[in-house]
Amino acid sequence: MNNSDYDASFIAETLPAFVSEATEQTDLFEQLLLQLEDDPDGGEMLDALFRCAHTVKGSAGIFGLERLVDFTHHVESLLDRLREGELTLTAELNTLLLQSNDEIRWLVNSAAAAGDAQDANAQSRAELVRRLQAAGAAARAPSLNPAGPGSAGTEEPAPAVAAVCSVSRRWHVSAHFGAATFRDGMDPLAILNYVRRMGTVPGIACDVEAIPPLGALDPENCHLAYEFSLDTVATRAEIEAAFSFVGEDCRLQLFEPQANALEFADLIASMPDNPRLGDILIAAGAITPLQLEQALKSQSQAAAGGNATLIGRVLQEQAGVDATVIDAAVQRQQRQRGASAAPAEDNRFIRVQASRLDAVINLLGELVIASAGASLLARQSRQRKQVEANAQVGRLVEEIRNGTLQLRMVPIGETFARFRRVVRDTAAELGKDAALEISGGETELDKSVVERIADPLMHLVRNALDHGLEPAAERLAGGKPAQGRLTLSACHESGSILIRIADDGRGIQRDKVLRTAWERGLVERGVVPTDAEIDRLIFEAGFSTAEKVTNLSGRGVGMDVVRRNIEALRGSITIESVEGKGSCIEIRLPLTLAIIDGFLVGVGSSKFIFPLDSVVEVIEARGDPARCDARGRRCVELRGHVLPVVDLRCLYGLDGPAPARVSTVVIRASGQRYGVVVDALLGQHQTVIKPLSRMFRSLRGISGSSILGNGEVALIVDVSTLGDLAAAAPSGKTHRIGEPS
């Protein structure tokens, strides 16, 4: 394989990783910008922004994505000005940066899609570059203006910082650049140039021996290592910041001006692979040979007593070094020992292909079923030991199940955060002023659910902005604050996740909805459904009341698609609205699409499963079907409250006589409580959810099926639709009256 083949295959293999990393960076970039807009004093956020851009630029450089590197460089330069405090982040600049970020994202994606062939955005990008440069030029102040460490070349050195406010102190810096430094797009020359502008460098020593001779050199690996002193007024953090872009890759140690020889000894001990360090330190003028000898001697005495931490303690006692400094140094040492090649980040996260995880979860489903079968057989065999062994296996399977499903759980906050941008841009486009509030972003749910909920949510958010919130003038006239409020929240509720999208806009105008429904023939002319049913009409296919069709919503293909998408996830969507006050849309989704904890019950020969989280309690009842209505419903009194009860036997017309004693399972779902009459309680059951066949999709109250250990099929109850059945008025769903009211 020759070099170019190798490069091509390397790029083909690693480009997807680059795209996903760069996408993460651009997402983070956007979120940071939006946060900065709310909180302009976030200095560390600016640093984080810069790092995002820099990371993208660095990795783009590896892949030779010239356009991306060029463009990101301009963004980076502007950010650098912001970071240096030469510019302040105005709303205008923020918009410019957001647009630039979009462009970066586009460039990243186009790199993934078609290599480097098409460049449809060249013109608009040139315009962005021009604006970025103009914004940057406005900031060129005659003040101290060090170019960022990322910028290449040897620029005119700025005058050394005049020691006006504090006295210049002598630091000793030990910087060993990592092998990947050059490949990451970093230039130690620029960093040292930058450092030199912080003060004066009386002595610098390069570890010449560390550079291999030409024959053995990989010229793209960095072998540079430095020991130097630095006279500066800058603080430790400022010096460290100069190296922040090679941070993970660079072994950087800073010694306080009062550092004594013992600390250098510690430094030497921490780099056992570098026996020349002592000489280098002497060459750099940091230490005299005599001091070094003494220090090494006293250190070896200390080392005889224990480990690195102990040395640290000795140091602390002898030299009065700050404990945190030592802790940091010890940690750094441990980290370096732990991660020889991989950067620290990789130790905390492992990227796994979703398909592999899905395969594991599918197998796990089969394992759960098989284990249920085995424990059933064990029980039938009546051998105590076998039953116990199977119970043990069952417990372990359950733990694995929980652990594995946990792997798929991601916080919904990331999805929510995306809407900050949507709200910002959409509101601007519509000429409205809207603020987005987010709560419960830490709520976790299955990744596949998160992915599939993003589009429906997007539509609902846009809809709320477009139809829900009124223009500022109208709001003021209605006695509301000019700025509209949109709230996105999420929480867990009995085994499902509840997502709320609330606005304080005009609410649903029911007369308008009803008129449209009549016109479109969705409701028979003259029939007036209840308010809740009118609200529900907006989820019907082919329904739109928008007077003018904007490019955001109002094409009439929205809400019914949203509803269908959510129902496809076994979820439900409801809307509550007060005219003039606002609307609140609630989406309920199952936490996971794969496996749930179920509560197995029997009715006649049929088996049903309730999600265990929705079961509140079980009460005994008398089997008395005579008191039910035609659909198996009645009410009972439970501790002074009326509890609607539904009898599954009557509801689904199951065969077999009811036993003398039945149980009522009390279910809580969608904020209501109801009872379900069943014959037998069969206990907790790990339920692998299988979809219902097409034939049974329309069945109300049932959301799926599951296979029991003995091969029987149990039906999984959809507790919220069953609840609607139980609570609905006995005489039918709509009040049909003869004449229009």
Binding interface with another protein (CB under 8 A): 152-154, 157, 182, 187-190, 192-193, 196, 204-206, 208, 211-215, 217, 219-220, 222-224, 226, 228
Number of Cβ atoms within 10 Å of the Cβ of 163: 13
Least Å distance, CB 251 to another protein, is 16
The size of the chain, in residues, is: 741
Q: Which residue has the tokens 């749930």?
A: 596
DSSP lists the bridge partners of residue 204 as 228
Least Å distance, CB 154 to another protein, is 5
* Residues 6+ positions from 519 with CB-CB distance below 8 Å: none
Least Å distance, CB 427 to another protein, is 45
- Comparing CB distances to another protein, the nearer of 217 and 352 is 217
Helices (H), 115-235: 122-137, 188-198
* Residues 6+ positions from 496 with CB-CB distance below 8 Å: 571, 588, 589, 590, 591, 611, 613
Least Å distance, CB 285 to another protein, is 12
Least Å distance, CB 268 to another protein, is 19
Q: Are 491 and 440 in contact (CB under 8 A)?
A: yes
- Comparing CB distances to another protein, the nearer of 32 and 205 is 205
- Comparing CB distances to another protein, the nearer of 187 and 586 is 187
Least Å distance, CB 190 to another protein, is 8
- Comparing CB distances to another protein, the nearer of 153 and 479 is 153
Least Å distance, CB 31 to another protein, is 32
Maximum pairwise Cα distance, the chain: 108
Q: Which residues of 37-49 are buried (b: 16+ CB within 10 A; e: fewer)?
A: beeeeeeebbebb
Which of 238, 248, 126, 98 minimizes the C-alpha distance to 176?
248
- Comparing CB distances to another protein, the nearer of 182 and 610 is 182
Least Å distance, CB 295 to another protein, is 24
Least Å distance, CB 55 to another protein, is 18
Q: What letter represents residue 464's amino acid?
A: A
- Comparing CB distances to another protein, the nearer of 189 and 681 is 189
- Comparing CB distances to another protein, the nearer of 1 and 214 is 214
Helices (H), 382-530: 384-408, 413-430, 447-463, 472-477, 510-520
Report d(CA 474, CA 577) in Å as an integer: 18
Least Å distance, CB 218 to another protein, is 9
Least Å distance, CB 188 to another protein, is 4
Sign of torsion over alpha carbons 671, 674, 678, 681:
positive
Q: Which residue has the tokens 């200095």?
A: 43
The pair of three-digit structure tokens given for residue 6, joined into one six-digit string: 């190798």
Helices (H), 138-187: none
Sign of torsion over alpha carbons 421, 424, 428, 429:
positive
Angle between helices 308-319 and 323-338 (to 10 degrees): 160
Which of 727, 619, 598 minimizes the C-alpha distance to 671?
727
Which of 497, 450, 503, 459 minimizes the C-alpha distance to 481?
503
- Comparing CB distances to another protein, the nearer of 11 and 438 is 11
Least Å distance, CB 575 to another protein, is 59
- Comparing CB distances to another protein, the nearer of 226 and 419 is 226
- Comparing CB distances to another protein, the nearer of 219 and 272 is 219
Q: What letter represents residue 58's amino acid?
A: G
User: 391 to each of 371, 388, 394, 689, how far by Cα in Å?
Assistant: 9, 5, 5, 22
Q: Are 202 and 236 in contact (CB under 8 A)?
A: no
Least Å distance, CB 137 to another protein, is 24
Number of Cβ atoms within 10 Å of the Cβ of 430: 16
- Beta 199-200 vs 169-176: how paired, if at all? unpaired
- Beta 444-446 vs 595-603: how paired, if at all? unpaired
- Comparing CB distances to another protein, the nearer of 185 and 723 is 185
Report d(CA 9, CA 88) in Å as an integer: 44
- Comparing CB distances to another protein, the nearer of 172 and 196 is 196
